Amino acid sequence: MESTPQKLGLILKYFSDFTPHQIQQFEALEELYKEWNAKINVISRKDIDSIYLHHVLHSLSIAAIAGFQPGTQVIDIGCGGGFPGVPLAIFFPEVKFHLVDSIAKKLKVVDAVTEGAGIKNITTQHSRAEEIKNRKFDFAVSRAVAPLKELWQWAGPLLKKGHQQEIANGLICLKGGDLAQEIFESGLRPRMMPVDKIFPEEYFAEKYILHISK
């Protein structure tokens, strides 16, 4: 198995302007997730050994298409163990991330990783997205949580209209496989980008970023 700095080389291959503090935070993720995954399983065994490729870099594909401005508010719907929200929060330290999941023990992992890595711009909430009231966000992010139609039903009411950034406010989700039927059933017209065009790694074949403007 590769050492952590070598694995982090995969991240540094595509992004070069991290502070030493951000690099420390990214390096901390592997041990924190391994420690907590042994207690509360949030990542499959095969994925935990490839955490930087399968989880961290995959999450950061969103950063490659969306340059969130300082002060932006982002909700991660169905965050699970913290992807894509945790890597994005390290990448964008001046952006506020609110990670939401209906399963409390997954948020226990997120809270522990966030504390262990010294990430200050994450809040968590044990809730279903559709139960959140009186809060609005610039963007919703999500990874492989639900069909697009449902995701938009949850995300749409939580989003503010706006286009002050590289891309318009809206939902950004990570999905894989043949999405034609899912997109058709949603009635939406997402902008779709292949992840392997951003990061030419074999693992990202047939993985996509979908962006739906509010």
Residue 8: which pLDDT band, with cuts at 50, 70 and 90? Answer: confident
Percent of the chain with pLDDT over 90: 83
* pLDDT attached to residue 4: 52
pTM: 0.95
Above 70 in pLDDT, residue 90?
yes
Confidence class of residue 162 from pLDDT cuts 50, 70 and 90? confident
Average pLDDT in the chain: 93
Judge whether 9 is annotated as a binding position. no
Q: Say whether pLDDT at 76 is over 70.
A: yes
Return the amino acid letter for 44: S
Q: How far apart are CA 171 and CA 65, in angstroms?
A: 13
Asked whether residue 182 is marked as a ligand-binding residue, the answer is: no
130 is in an annotated binding site: yes
Q: What is the pLDDT, as a whole number, of residue 6?
A: 61
In angstroms, the CA 138 to CA 73 distance is 5
Query: pLDDT tens digits, residue range 19-67?
Result: 999 999 999 999 999 999 888 888 887 788 899 999 999 999 999 999 9
> What CATH number has the domain spanning 4-213?
3.40.50.150
**What is d(CA 53, CA 97) in angstroms, rounded to the nearest whole number?**
22
- The model's confidence at residue 1, banded by pLDDT at 50, 70 and 90, is very low
Burial class (CB in 10 A: 0-12, 13-18, 19+), 188: middle
Task: Find out whether 204 is annotated in a ligand binding site.
Answer: no
Whether residue 143 is annotated as binding a ligand: the answer is yes
Q: In terms of pLDDT, which residue wins out, 133 or 22?
A: 22
Residue 155: which H helix or E strand, with range? helix 148-155
Q: For the chain, which residues make up each domain, given as ranges?
A: 4-213
